[in-house]
């Protein structure tokens, strides 16, 4: 490993940061695109372990990947700094909502990729 982890890939640095977080067991987690540099399977496993290891921690989870949000208690969809929709995944996906349309777009882009 080089100075400041320079020999690590972006995904490896991300996993190392999450590992450090797991060791601290903080009461609150601020996660900004925490698995953006990981493949979907690894990212899902990392998130499951993170939430399982900190079951009582409050979490602010920021992501553009809406498919990762199914287990979140509350979702705030923002546009231009304003909350435009709010609810849990089931509520937002059932509604004729912007969130539901964005999820459909993401699902279609994954299927086409």
Q: What is the mean pLDDT of residues 11-32?
A: 84
- Mean residue pLDDT of the chain comes to 86
**Is residue 69 within 8 Å of residue 89, measured between CB atoms?**
yes
Domain positions in the chain: 1-62, 64-113
Chain centre to alpha carbon of residue 102: 15
Query: Where do the H-state alpha helices sit in 1-113?
Result: 10-24, 40-53, 89-94, 98-112
- Write out pLDDT tens, residues 58-99: 999 999 999 889 989 999 999 999 999 999 999 999 878 999
């Amino acid at each position: 490993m080089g100075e400041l982890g320079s020999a690590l890939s972006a995904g490896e640095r991300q996993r190392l940061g999450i590992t450090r977080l797991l060791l601290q067991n903080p009461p609150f987690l601020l996660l900004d695109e925490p698995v953006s540099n990981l493949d979907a399977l690894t990212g899902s496993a990392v998130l499951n372990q993170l939430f399982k290891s900190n079951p009582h921690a409050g979490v602010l989870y920021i992501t553009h990947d809406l498919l990762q949000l199914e287990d979140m208690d509350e979702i705030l969809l923002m546009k231009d700094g304003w909350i435009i929709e709010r609810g849990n995944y089931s509520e937002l996906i059932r509604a004729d909502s912007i969130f539901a349309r964005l999820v459909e777009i993401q699902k279609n882009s994954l299927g086409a990729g």
